[in-house]
Amino acid sequence: MTTSILNTVSSIHSSRVTSVDRVGVLSLRNPDSVDFTRRRSGRRFVVRAAETDTDKVKSQTPDKAPAGSGSSINQLLGIKGASQETNKWKIRLQLTKPVTWPPLVWGVVCGAAASGNFHWTPEDVAKSILCMVMSGPCLTGYTQTINDWYDRDIDAINEPYRPIPSGAISEQEVITQFWVLLLGGLGIAGILDVWAGHTTPTVFYLALGGSLLSYIYSAPPLKLKQNGWVGNFALGASYISLPWWAGQALFGTLTPDVVVLTLLYSIAGLGIAIVNDFKSVEGDRALGLQSLPVAFGTETAKWICVGAIDVTQLSVAGYLLASGKPYYALALLALIIPQIVFQFKYFLKDPVKYDVKYQASAQPFLVLGIFVTALASQH
């Protein structure tokens, strides 16, 4: 299974608001119903918006949209700065956040390369493409949709113009979408196991385990994302380790050293996941989610983020050097340097304002570093 090498995957998180004289609680029965309760000086005031049947609501442009007209490309990719859309299929695509698919697709490539058994034959290419579809559009799409579903309270505070809190898509349509994506991904995993001749359905088990991890990451009662450390490591493992394992299991055999190496790389994924937490501080704090920016403050969290990314890669480079693979180690070091440059140029200056620029400029080097590690692991 697979849920994203980077980013990802968008996304996610912490501390509870308390005040001596007032407490605000925001809840959504459905995307169109808002109930705000305030207690002040011992009295309780309730303002309740009129409820509507979300299944009967047509797509509509939200009242509160981002500044400016927004970008139609951003809308299709599922990133901030998106234009408001009424076409249901475009809204469905937006919920799956296609911008988070490439890391999973790349993870499959890395796994196939690490197996040492991938050949440029039509059959192997077809297998790898089907595995990419499972990892990206299906299971990452499922992960992003279910995350937005369980984040609708937070998004109502941070990004009220998003499809679910704005009422642009109904409750039943969202539920249908994540079931279709989940079952589609698991079905493809089963097909891949049969195609590869596995006696044990390894790819299916990975897909099932990854899907379960995605669910407990977003959904109560466990909701791993409530803890910045556990939640972000789970996210990093989903985006880096799981697609790699799926690609390697499809063409070869998973070995203990590869499992350890990819889990180590998942610490870098933890850092990548933190990048997405800075823009959600207000909502995370209001709803009691312990994201690292909320728990430690923005300044400290910035350094935790870059430290997790850089120290992990330096450790992997050291491991490759100790394993007698100096050229791979040097190649990885060369890819770490520009990441550090972009961290100081963008992320450490303002992690909210420059998050997209930072991810677009620095993360391709991280991705290439993971591929270098994959090539090193097959020799």
**Nearest to residue 310, comparing CAs of 274, 284, 355?**
274
pLDDT at 195 over 70: yes
pTM: 0.76
Q: What is the reported pLDDT for 210? A: 96
pLDDT at 362 over 50: yes
Q: Is 74 exposed, middle or buried (0-12, 13-18, 19+ CB in 10 A)?
A: middle
pLDDT at 99 over 50: yes
CA distance readout (Å), 101 to 9, 63, 112, 227 = 8, 30, 17, 24
Mean per-residue pLDDT over the chain, rounded: 82
Q: What is the reported pLDDT for 282? A: 84
Residue type for position 230: V
| Cα–Cα distance for residue pair 375/379, rounded to 1 Å | 7
With a CB cutoff of 8 Å and minimum separation 6, the contacts of 272 are 6, 7, 8, 236, 239, 309, 359, 363, 366
β-sheet bridge partners, residue 38: 24, 45
pLDDT at 116 over 60: yes
Residues in the chain: 379
pLDDT at 49 over 70: no
| Residues 373, 328 contacting (CB under 8 angstroms) | yes
State the pLDDT confidence band at 331, using cuts at 50, 70 and 90. Answer: very high
355-377 and 228-251 helices, crossing angle to 10° = 40
CA distance readout (Å), 135 to 138, 243, 255, 289 = 6, 7, 21, 28
Q: For 206-258, how does the pLDDT look when each residue is reduced to its tens digit (9 = 90+)?
A: 999 999 999 999 999 999 988 889 988 998 898 899 999 999 999 999 888 88
| Cα–Cα distance for residue pair 81/307, rounded to 1 Å | 28
Q: For 175-185, how does the pLDDT look when each residue is reduced to its tens digit (9 = 90+)?
A: 999 999 999 99
For 207, how many CA atoms within 13 A lie in the half-sphere containing its CB? 31
| Residues 230, 224 contacting (CB under 8 angstroms) | yes
- Per mean pLDDT, which range of 1-15, 120-134, 138-152, 215-229 is the poorest? 1-15
CA distance readout (Å), 279 to 115, 238, 271, 353 = 38, 21, 15, 9
State the pLDDT confidence band at 34, using cuts at 50, 70 and 90. Answer: very low
Q: For 263-303, how does the pLDDT look when each residue is reduced to its tens digit (9 = 90+)?
A: 989 999 899 889 988 988 888 888 787 889 999 999 999 99
How many CB atoms within 10 Å of residue 17? 13
Region 345-349 average pLDDT:
96
pLDDT at 42 over 80: no
Q: What is the reported pLDDT for 227? A: 86
Q: Is 344 exposed, middle or buried (0-12, 13-18, 19+ CB in 10 A)?
A: exposed
Structure tokens at 363: 């993360």
**Nearest to residue 339, comparing CAs of 357, 362, 358?**
362
Among all chains, which residue has been given the structure tokens 């079905």?
187
